[in-house]
Amino acid sequence: MTRSDGYLLDNRQSEAGQRFDAFATLFDPTTFRHMEGFGVGPGWRVWEVGVGGTSVVSWLAKKVGPTGKVVATDIDISQVASVARPPIEVRVHDVGAEEPPGEGFDLVHARLVLVHVPDRERALRSMIKSLRPGGRLLIEDADPALQPLLCPDEHGPEQQLANRLRHGFRKLLADRGADLSYGRKLPRLLREAGLRRVEADAYFPVTSPACAALESATVRQIRDQLVTAGLATDEDIDRHLANVASGTMDLATAPMISAWGRKG
């Protein structure tokens, strides 16, 4: 799937569930606001791409009800298999390499997915192909190059260390084929793909307990890769995790850019 050693943030690792919980706290309100604006409701057919955790599909299942359907796909469904009951259908699927798991969807959504997919162009075409005429596409992806710092207020050694480790994380992602400036391209890409009424916005928290939880889980998950690549020492990581746990640092995320449009 990727250029070097596979996907960096494996869903089967113990920290993955903690990361998904943090993503839900941080980003679900934005995602749900957009979906509410589309009018998602009873009877809708929805494809949730790269589902990861359960929060979005569970919310969608309540919205579409027993007459609707939510197809939840990922290359690894270990975190979401527990909710595989009507109206939710869970499938193993690689959006960048396989045909869509159906057609005539009213809504297709992917959050923090395409930035990691090597064949992003094919994945985007696949999602648009699966929409019914008038159906909506909502893509939400990070743009770490737009705001690359974990601590935008780098006022001391703790913040400097945090930003150095964040730089290492970005390098690991880039080495595995991630496009760290993908989010900003989404409005143009949706227009070029023929979608109408394209709009976009961006959100990123500057400080939040969920940001700290996300950072701690992420660093523990990629610890071995950071050390092996010479981007940090075990002592650096232990010190950083202790700094995060102290609750005294303002930790941010990369901006999440949401872009949406309607199939003509």
Please enumerate in sequence order all residues whose Cβ is within 8 A of that of 37, keeping only pairs 6 or more positions apart, or say none.
none
pTM of the model: 0.92
The count of other CB atoms within 10 Å of the CB of residue 86 is: 10
Task: Convert the pLDDT of each residue in 178-202 to its tens digit.
Answer: 899 999 999 999 999 999 999 999 9
Query: What's the token pair of residue 106?
Result: 């009213």
Whether the predicted pLDDT of 254 surpasses 70? yes
CA neighbor of 139 nearest in space, from 110, 105, 177: 110
| Domain 15-151+178-205+253-262, classified CATH 3.90.700.10, yes or no | no
DSSP 5-66: SS-SS-TTSTHHHHHHHHHHHHHHHHHHHHHHHHT--TT-EEEEES--SSHHHHHHHHHH-T
- Across the range 131-141, mean pLDDT stands at 98
Kindly report, residue by residue over 218-250, the tens digit of the pLDDT: 999 999 999 999 999 999 999 999 999 999 999
Domain parsing of the chain, residue ranges: 15-151+178-205+253-262
